[in-house]
Each structure stands twice: as structure tokens, then as C-alpha cells.
Amino acid sequence: MDAQVIPPPAPRSSPGVKLTFDSQQSTKASLSIDFLIVGGGVAGLTSAIALTRAGHRVLVLEKGDGTSNTGPGGIRIPPNMSKIFFHWGFTEQLRKIASTSLPVIMTKLQTGEILGTQAWSAAMLKDTRGEFMLTTVRANPLTSHAPRLPPLHIDQHDALYNFLHEIAVAKGVRIRYNTAVADIDPDEGAVLLASGEILTADVILGADGERGACRRILFERNERVVSTGAVLYDVRCETSLATRTASKQVLKDVALEKNPIFVSFGNRRAMTGYPVNRGKEMAFHYFVWHQEDPGTHGNYADPPTTELRRVMKQPCGESIWDVAQSAQNVIRVAINQHENLPTWVHDSGRMVVIGQAAHPIAPGTIQGTAMAVEDGAVLAKLFSHLSKREQIGEFLNAFQDLRQARCETCVRSEFNFIYAITQDDGPEVDLRDKTFRDSRNAGMDYLDENGATDESMSREQWHDVVTIFGYDCEDEADNWWMEWGRLRERSQEAVMNGSVPYRGGFSWGTMSIQVNECITSQ
């Protein structure tokens, strides 16, 4: 799997900045193997870092040039994701490219009225062992399709993709950009490149997204993708543009210096937004249900669109309307319903999919990137215990068992969030808005049990948030090894030593793993 590393175009690092990585050393596998990762986005790079920390050799193949393979907009890093990088020892590096967000501000899209607020309490964040952070996906928001668009004032180092690339290279991950994959043979652990070159590895890791070749191979047919009727418009613009119509009182109330997240509830339309790049820019996600079927087309590789100006109709809050009509770097992404894969692991036991390739999550939501990062962390935790090749297939199957229920829960939760913020006007919406206002007028956060009108609803919603944010994927992987993996190894050793009579092979098909989604109170 020896290959030349082709670096992406500059800039990729900050001159004069000395980087220190991995203050929390991970367990190293006693047997090191070769991983070939198809896809060099966030999922691919995170997995590469994690597997290298576990002592394995990793080569990443990326068909793009490393600057345009991800969306241009912002990204929210929830506590269940930030805690992973904290644990790996990258806290200082993450703080350089991301800002901590404290409040959520809920508004009425039609009027711009502030309905209520919700702050992430210190106690909740302490329980999750992470922070809610905001950054950009990649540094340059301009695609090759739109060279004439005016550049934004951005720090080229201020992006999650750059952060991951820099760590990966420092850890010794080999990356080949501009490398298209023509075919994959999981049985042989082989990848045929468009150039005719053949690469082989012990494990092929499919991180090439919901439209990628690895997912198609596992389906063994064309996947049935269904349009939900909703479309995401991903926007990133100067903060001065986003706030030019806001009054001084509104700007004082929203306190942009605290990095708030805005959630604007509307009738079949909604918007989420937050400051990025140290407050110089704002990232927005506009969700719009189309009257006509929008189809399943539209992704982050497409050129910018002006469609948002047409589909965002009045009534609409002045600032929300202004951004929709003025923003130039708008990417249209269809929100589709995907089939569940029958398996994430190929029958050969030599290929597995992660991230969007395994469990597509609606774009513009919080947990899509976080689930990909959790995938990489869990996979590496399992393979940190690799001592013989016979374990490879077993670890891949254990990976799916550990991750599937968690990811399906988050997929449903994120779709439900989109439905909730775009709910049709009616009695339920009127009651919801009244609950927001009652809490606001009482000086309470919406999810404060003493401030909400319906306390049982408040407790349930708060529990859901804390459960998802507080989940520790690496703890789950450690628990699996202690309860099942190590037990199986000892059982096999006993059989080999003759101290236990052999009565048939061990099969994961007869086992089930229960993933603990609950937070144990301190």
C-alpha cells in the first residue's frame, strides 16, 4: 500500500505555529495492518487519525484536490464530538479553529420576534465532558464554478477540514489527492484507480458518502432514494451583511459575542444560523419545503444557486429576508430519505462503510459530522486490540453492532428537528410559541423545568438532548472489549490449550450488543 503523498494546494498550515499533537496516547495494537480509506472528507480524515493513533498504517484516497470536496458553510460541533478531540489531546488546536457557543436563540421566522432562549448550562456541559463549538467546514467558500464571486475575509487556517488534514499529516497518514477510484474488489482488498494503478490493503474503509461506490457495492443494486420535498440552502456571508438591517437593541439582545445559535421557526420554512470565523462571518441553513417536487438532486459539489431568492417568500423577518436575497455563495442540497443498508460490512470481512456512506443524515443538521467522527473513534478503539488477522472481520461486525442503533436514533432525531422547526401554522404551533413566550417573560430558559408551561415535555426534551450530547462512543467500545471481546479471546485460548473442550465455533450471529444511550447521574 506504498504510495506518494500528494499535498493539497496551499495554504494548509500556519507559518510559525508549532503544533503539538496527541497528549493522550492511545492503546497501540500488537498487530499493525494496512487500511485503505476511500474518501478524504471529514469522515475519512478523522478515521485515518484514529487508526494511526491505534498503530495502524493508513492511506487515504481523495478524488478532489482537498479544497472543494466539502461544503463551504459552517458546522456545529456538539459536545459528543468535541469531547473526542479533547480526549485525543487536540484541545488547543480545536480552540484555535472553533468558538464555544453558549446560548440558543429561538425566533419567529415570519416576524423576527425573539421567542425565547436556551443556554447550555455549565452542569450539563460538565456531564457531557465536551463543549458546543462553531467553525467552518473548509477555509475557502468559493467553488471552482464561481471564480468571479468576491472572496470573504477569512483566516485560511480557520476550518475543520484544515485542522484534520494538519493532524493527519503530522501523525503520518498518507494522503493522495486528485485520485479517482474506478473499481473496488472487497474480496481481494483491492482498489483500481482511474489511472490503472491497483492498491491493496487488509481493510478497505468506505468514507465516500451516500453517493459513493462503497455504499453501492453493499447494496448490490441501485439504491432507492426518495425526496422528502425539503431542500437545504447553505449560506455563508459577512456578518455585516447579516446584521445591516438589525437595530442596535436587537444586536444588544442577541449578543453575537457569545456565539449564539439562532433557530427561526416558520411555516414550511425555517432557518438556523450562527457566527463563524471569530464573528467575522455568519453561517446559515435555510430549510424550505417546496410546493412542487424538488427531486433528489442537489449536493455540495454543485455550483452556487440563486434559487433561494425565489423560494423564500414574505412574510419574513427583515434580516432573514435580507440574507436570502443578497447572499452570493448559496449551495442547494436536497434532503432525501435513504434506505437502510442491510449490512455495513462486506461478506468478505475486508470492507466496511462509515459516516454518510453507512447512515446518511439530513444535511444542515448537528449530528451528521459528529456521527462520522464517532464512527472513526469506535473503529479505532476496536482495532487497538488487534493481535491476529482472524479478529478483523469480528471487529468490523462488532463495529456495526455498536454503532447502528446509535446512528439510527440520531438520523430520526435530526429529521424530527427539521419537521419541528418547519411545522405548519396551527393550534400546536400557537401553543409552542406561547410556551416560548411564557418562559421568556418569566426570565427562564425554555427547557428550564420551572419555566416551561408543560414540565413533562420540558424534561423529555432536555433528557433527549443530554442523552445525545453526553454519549461517549469510546466508552462504549471499551465496554464491549471488556465484556465480550476479551472474554472471547480467553475462551479461544482455553480451547487451544485444551483446558476447555471444543463444542463448535463462536458466531457473532448468535450474539447481540445493547448500546447504552442513557447518562448515569453523577
In the predicted model, what is the mean pLDDT of residues 73-92?
A: 95
Percent of the chain with pLDDT over 70: 80
Strands 281-289, 226-238: pairing is antiparallel
Query: Do residues 145 and 200 share a domain?
Result: yes
* Higher pLDDT among residues 150 and 240, named by residue: 240
What string of H, E and C letters represents the secondary structure of 262-278?
EEEECCCEEEEEEEECC
Query: Do residues 232 and 207 share a domain?
Result: no
What are the pLDDT digits (tens) for 295-344?
888 888 889 999 999 999 999 999 999 999 999 889 999 999 999 999 99
Find the distance separating the first CA and the last CA of the chain, reported in whole Å.
Answer: 47
Rounded-to-integer distance, Cα 140 and Cα 317, Å: 29
What are the pLDDT digits (tens) for 237-257?
999 999 999 988 889 889 999
**Which residues are registered as beta bridge partners of 334?**
231
* Higher pLDDT among residues 120 and 339, named by residue: 339
pLDDT for the residue numbered 124? 74
CATH number at residue 160: 3.50.50.60
The answer as to whether 120 is a domain residue is no
Query: Do residues 200 and 143 share a domain?
Result: yes
The answer as to whether 345 is a domain residue is yes
Query: Do residues 199 and 295 share a domain?
Result: no
In the predicted model, what is the mean pLDDT of residues 365-392?
A: 96
Rounded-to-integer distance, Cα 461 and Cα 192, Å: 48
Query: Do residues 359 and 429 share a domain?
Result: no
Query: Do residues 180 and 307 share a domain?
Result: no
Going by pLDDT thresholds of 50, 70 and 90, the confidence category of residue 25 is low
The answer as to whether 494 is a domain residue is no
Query: Do residues 310 and 351 share a domain?
Result: no
Query: Do residues 213 and 346 share a domain?
Result: yes
Percent of the chain with pLDDT over 90: 66
Query: Do residues 64 and 156 share a domain?
Result: yes
Going by pLDDT thresholds of 50, 70 and 90, the confidence category of residue 139 is low
Query: Do residues 198 and 235 share a domain?
Result: no
Query: Do residues 194 and 280 share a domain?
Result: no
Going by pLDDT thresholds of 50, 70 and 90, the confidence category of residue 460 is low
pLDDT for the residue numbered 475? 94
Query: Do residues 195 and 252 share a domain?
Result: no
pLDDT for the residue numbered 496? 53
pLDDT for the residue numbered 128? 83
The answer as to whether 517 is a domain residue is no
SS3 assignment, position 180: coil
Q: Does the structure show a pLDDT above 70 at 461?
A: no
Rounded-to-integer distance, Cα 408 and Cα 405, Å: 5
The answer as to whether 499 is a domain residue is no
The answer as to whether 489 is a domain residue is no
Range of the domain at 87: 34-100+131-224+341-415+469-473
What are the pLDDT digits (tens) for 340-376?
999 999 999 999 999 999 999 999 999 999 999 999 9
What are the pLDDT digits (tens) for 418-455?
999 999 999 999 999 999 999 889 888 776 644 444 44
The answer as to whether 511 is a domain residue is no
> The whole model's pTM is what?
0.86
Asked if residues 298 and 201 have their Cβ atoms less than 8 Å apart, the reply is no
**Which residues are registered as beta bridge partners of 190?**
185, 200
In the predicted model, what is the mean pLDDT of residues 271-293?
A: 93
Rounded-to-integer distance, Cα 176 and Cα 268, Å: 43
The answer as to whether 12 is a domain residue is no
In the predicted model, what is the mean pLDDT of residues 403-429?
A: 95
**Tally of domains within the chain:** 2
Rounded-to-integer distance, Cα 350 and Cα 333, Å: 32
Q: What is the mean pLDDT of the chain?
A: 84
Q: Does the structure show a pLDDT above 60 at 69?
A: no
| Sign of the dihedral defined by the CA atoms of residues 394, 51, 215, 75, in that order | positive
Helices and strands in the chain: count of H runs, count of E runs = 16, 18
